[in-house]
Every structure is written in structure tokens, then in C-alpha cells.
Amino acid sequence: MARVVFLWHMHQPEYRDPVSGQPVLPWVRLHSTRAYNDMAAALEAHQRARVVVNWAPSLLLQLEAYTSGAAVDRDEEIARKPTDSLTAAERAHILRQDFSADWDTWVKPVPRYAELLGKRGTDLARVDLAREQAVFSTQELLDLQTHFMLAWMGFAARSEHPLVDELVRKERMFSESDKTHLLDLSRKIARGIVPRWTSLLQGGTVELTCSPMFHPILPLLADSDSARRAMPDATLPPRFQHVQDAREQVRRGLQRADRDFGVRPVGMWPSEGAVSPEVMQILGAEGVRWCATDQGNLERSELETPSDARPLHHAPWMAGQVAVFFRDRDLSDRIGFRYAKHDARASADELLGRVAAAGKDATVTVALDGENPWERYPRSGELFLDALYRGLGDKVVPVLPREEIDARPPKGRIARIHSGSWIDSNFRIWIGQPEDNQAWTLLGQARAALERARPELPPDRFEKAYETALAAEGSDWFWWYGDEFHTDNAPEFDALFRRNLEQIYRHVGLAPPERLARPIIAQHKDKSQTKAINIPPKRLIKPVIDGYTRSYFEWNGAGFYRPGTSVGGSMYQGSGAFSQLWYGFSASHLYLRLDPAEGADTSGELRILITRDKAERTLRMEVRPSGGECAVLDEEGKQQGSGWAGAIVELAIPVTALDLSPGSRAGLLLRLVRGGGEVDRLPRYGELELIAPDPAFEQSHWHV
């Protein structure tokens, strides 16, 4: 009989804002009522089943915060309000977020849910959510919120809790009470997840493993230049080399799993199956007896002692002190990417048949994401998992790695393991593209600032800064940078990454660099910004700076910028403080005009960032809640211009204060900061181009 190791990896990145502690995105809560609960329930019905469950500690941290009520994500916060009391921005957020489920499986088959999707539209780039929300009734939005939660209720929730089945059958005209009870049930289900898995662990059905604390790519933390081993021609960022961080991520991950489940793991799925010689040394030193990665990394490794296994990855190998199991890529990917649209029993039989065909001496490893595939499976994968576990025991025996390496010590030995991940046996997803490299550069700068400050920091402040740095090292930020993968939540991921970096500086008593205020992602990745308008200046202007607009002609010919609809974004809940920006020159001054958004609070510190070549200059103006005249100050506190806050906010800054000569070019970015946090930024992406006027400026822009 062939042996099989099933490894299910449970993972979510750290979604919590490092300042408020509240999650920006709802995925920990939503997966709790499906995969994390379902996968345990599926095992309880099958005594012969044996599996490894691998937890990302960053998920366990957030699961605890959610179940305790300490963390409430933005979607839940809105859902707990009476729907008829929501603001326009909150209504638009619902329209943006609450169709985030597999449409073919969970939306289109449900008449009411499909009807609401049809009304909103399927292409967000073509939908003005701020305008569209007004045509949805309170009842439609209430139905939408409820269906979103129902779509994420897995088979265990549907069979174990009558409320879920009752609401599924009701389908429309949900009440506020229905919605609230469903929210409360979600938290109740989540509270049972760790105890449910602990029971399976104690009964011997499950072997518990974990990933490093915040799911980083360990080889790149140890040495980012190790990416060249598999990518010799890659363009890499300045070298990031913090072996101690890689070690600490492993150590803290093991400690967290021990804390939650009462057992210190002896196995580990390194984040994204990423391994290198340096990582194997760390794992061995931290007491990890075995780990798993992809077969491609074995095929590219230097082998010392051969193995009898054919193919080679159908047996564990020793790499230093650590036994390594290599996932069968084809079999794992069949579950993750192919079987969802096929008959469940036939798919399970095919998989088990392929394992059996490996032979009686084979140990086949099937390792994959334990949460995301089931969104595309009918009934959240219930039929497939039941058929898979039911088929074990005759020709295929499930084994646990900790027992397997004791019963059959690995014969093969690896002299030098390849440096790579489960994707293409390299690290191209996380490093090498311009966005990736920008992120690594900024991370490296923040990490260096922390190290310089360390000797002067009290232990508690260093720990806060260091934990934030570890969170910023997580793999998911880099997963969404670059061109390989796309998500509607790219702006949220980008903002969270940069916000973590900002907090590192704040914890050590430094002002965050202004560069962290600017998104790393390209503008096209934010669908709300496809409707942004930017018109460059056409004429010289000379408005009166008094906080009011006197006539159309006062700013006629100025440049104009209006951001796209940013409702639901992570940086601005709503449309920000300002609805539009006017900018232009006279022969001697740069003039800026900011028009407040309806009902917005425009108070705070307005920062005017001017970039020229690689030099940056920041001017500041304090906008008081009461309005009035304001001074524009430079970095040394010297006045360099003046402004007024009234019905609008206006500024005048001498060109000489900007160090601009006629015809020279510069970039312009304005940020409104309040209470240490960014309230608004214009433009949302990149910078506006300024061209200091020369004598021919108006003539070159003249038109009839």
C-alpha cells in the first residue's frame, strides 16, 4: 500500500491596521465560517483519516482577536449598523465589497444575489459606486449584506446551525435581526475552531505544524541576494540581510502554535514552501524535525546519498538535521485548481488511484492551501472531502510525518538544497519586479533605522517596533506587488504595508519618510482611480488668497485634479477631505486651491511635497478647525508662503521658496495629516507635474 501525507495550509496575512488594531479586510472572519471550521468537521466523520494542518501564526493572532471581540473589521462594523442609517460612503463600500465570493458558485445560482449583482454591474471599473449607491434601497442593501455572509457559510455551518439554512431558504426581505443574528453566529463558530482542531490533535487524527510568525519568505530575509541562485539575471533591490529576523519568525511561530494548541510543532511548512541552505540551518537549530516544500526544489538540489524512491519526491530526504517532504505538484494542483468543476467522487477516486500507482514503498505528499480552493467547490468541498477520506485505508494509507520519519528514517541525503519556493522553484513572485523592489528597498530602510535606534530604545519600545517590522516582512505584501497577481484589494494591501513601515519609524521616535505616503502600486490597480481627472495649467493666474472663490475667472486656466471615487479604499473611508485641487503659477508664485468634500473636516497639517530630480522639499501649513489665515513653513520653521482656510483652502508660495527656475520641472504631492494618520492625499497616485513658467508659457498654451 502506498502512503500519503495530506498537508492543509491555513493562512491569512496580518490585516490589522498597526495604529487602530482593527482589520482592514474581513477574510479571517469569513474563512472562519467555511474552511477553518469545515476542514475539521470533514475529519471528524472519518476515523481512518490522518492529515497535517499547518497554521500561519498571523492567522491565529487575528482569530483570537476576532473571537474575543477585540477586532472588528470594516465590513462587520458597517454590517452591525442599521442599514437605513448608513452614510453614502458606507453604502458604496457594501456595493464594492459584498460581492466578494465566487460568482459562479455562490452568487449567480442565488436569484436574489444574482439580481443585486446585475443591478450593480460586474465591471467595477465602469461603475461609479458613489453615484450607484443612491439607486439601491435599504432593503436591497440589507439583502446584499446578508447574502454576502451566507455565501461564506460552509457546509458545517449549514448543517449544524438551523439559522443558516433558514436564511438560505428565505432568500430575500431579510431583517436587521436576521443580519445581526448571523453576525453573532459567525463569531460563535469562530470561537469553536481552535477547540475543534485541538480535539482532533489530541485524538491522533491531526499533526499540528505552523509557518513562521508573519508568513515571510525566509530565504529572502536571510539574504535577499539568494534569489540570484535561481534567477541569475534578476534585477534585485539593495541587499536585505537579517538572518536574525528569519530565525525569530520561526521561533515566534512555534511559540504561538504551542500557546494556542498546547503542543509545540516538530514540523513546519515554510511560507510558500520557500527553502534555502540557510533556512535549513535555522529550522534545525530551532528544533524543527521536518518541513515540506515543492518537488521542483528537490529536482534542483545537490544530492549526497541517493534514494530508492522513483520518482525521487515520493520519499522524504534529509537536509542537514531536517527531514524534508516534497509535495507532488501535479496531485496537489489537481485539488487546488482542477477538481472543483468535476464530479467529486470521480475526482477523489482518480487522486487516490494515482497515489496507489506510486507503489507500496512510496510516501506521496499532497500539500496545498487548505482554505481558498473550497470557495469554488460545490457545497464548499464537502462531497469531495468525504469521498477522499472515505477512500483511504485499502490501497492508500494516510500517515503523519512525525511518525513516518521515526518508522522509516529517510535514506536519501541532500548535500545542498536548492533555494526556491513552490512556484517555479524560485522567488520571482516576491522580488525582482519594480514594485517588489521598491517595497524591499523601503522595508530595508525602515529595518536599518530600527537597528540604528536599538541601543537607545527601552526594551518595550524596541519590541513594538520589532514586531511591526516582522509583520512588514510578511510574504503577502510582495505577492500582490508586481504583475503576476491581481486583486480588487490591492490598494488596501499596499496601504497596510506602508503603514506598518511608518509605524516602525514612529515607535523609534522618528518621523516617517514622506515617500511612505505615496502608493507603490500603479494607478491602474485601483479601479476607483480610473475616473481621475488631471488637466495641466494653461495660463498664468493671480487669485486672491482669502479662503473664498470670488468668480470663475479667478482660477480660470489653472491646472485641475479630481480623484476617482475612492469609496471603500483603505486610506480614505469615503472620498477623503478634499474633492478637487486647482494649481497654477503667476510669474512669481505657485497657487494652490483645495475644495473640501461635502461635510468633510479639513483641519490638520497640510504637507506640500515638492520633488525635483531626487531631492525633496516639504512645506507645512496648519489648517485650524476654525479656519482663518495660515502660514506656510519650511522644514526649519521659517515662513515661506501664506494661506487661508475658509469655504476653500488656498495657498500662495513664492517660486523662489521652491527653488524653481523658469522652465524647470518638479513633482507636487499634497497630504492632509491629522493625529499622526493620513486623512487625504492629492493626487492619489504619483505626483502632479509642475513646470515653472518661462516668458513663453502663455503663448505656448494659447488656444481659441
Residue 701 has pLDDT above 60, yes or no: no
Residue type at 421 in one-letter notation: S
Q: What is the pLDDT of residue 565?
A: 64
* Average pLDDT estimate for 562-576: 56
Residue 74 has pLDDT above 70, yes or no: yes
Region of poorest pLDDT, from 38-42, 608-612, 647-651: 608-612
Residue 435 in contact with residue 298, Cβ under 8 Å?
no
Q: What is the pLDDT of residue 686?
A: 84
Cα 619 to chain center, whole Å? 32
CA separation, residue 426 to residues 229, 230, 430, 678 (Å): 8, 6, 9, 37
User: Residue 490 is inside which H or E element, if any?
Assistant: helix 490-507
CA separation, residue 200 to residues 41, 49, 193, 569 (Å): 10, 11, 11, 40
Q: What is the pLDDT of residue 509?
A: 96
Backbone angles phi, psi at 643, to 5 degrees: -155, 170
Please report which confidence band the pLDDT of residue 130 belongs to, taking 50, 70 and 90 as the band edges: confident
Domains in the chain: ranges and CATH: 4-10+196-416 (3.20.110.20), 434-517 (1.20.1430), 532-701 (2.60.40.10)
Q: What mean pLDDT value characterizes the chain?
A: 94
Q: Is 485 exposed, middle or buried (0-12, 13-18, 19+ CB in 10 A)?
A: exposed
Please report which confidence band the pLDDT of residue 566 belongs to, taking 50, 70 and 90 as the band edges: low
CA separation, residue 41 to residues 156, 197, 256, 282, 558 (Å): 6, 9, 23, 35, 64
Residue 508 in contact with residue 479, Cβ under 8 Å?
no
- Give per-residue pLDDT as tens, 361-371: 999 999 999 99
Angle at 102 between CA 100 and CA 108, to 5 degrees: 100
Residue 63 has pLDDT above 60, yes or no: yes
**Residue 474 carries which DSSP code?**
B
Q: What is the pLDDT of residue 700?
A: 56
Cα 428 to chain center, whole Å? 18
Q: What is the pLDDT of residue 387?
A: 98
Question: Angle 176-191/138-151 helices, nearest 10 degrees?
Answer: 20
Residue 350 has pLDDT above 70, yes or no: yes
Q: What is the pLDDT of residue 127?
A: 87
* Average pLDDT estimate for 72-94: 96
* Average pLDDT estimate for 648-670: 92
Q: What is the pLDDT of residue 574?
A: 41
Distance CA 683, CA 689 (A): 11
Q: What is the pLDDT of residue 100?
A: 96
- Would you mind telling me the total number of residues written for the chain in this entry? 704
Q: What is the pLDDT of residue 699?
A: 59
- Give per-residue pLDDT as tens, 395-454: 999 999 999 999 999 999 999 999 999 999 999 999 999 999 999 999 999 999 999 999
Please report which confidence band the pLDDT of residue 281 belongs to, taking 50, 70 and 90 as the band edges: very high
Region of poorest pLDDT, from 310-319, 476-485, 552-561, 569-578: 569-578
Selection from 226-240, 539-553, 659-673 with the highest mean pLDDT:
226-240
Distance CA 519, CA 500 (A): 13
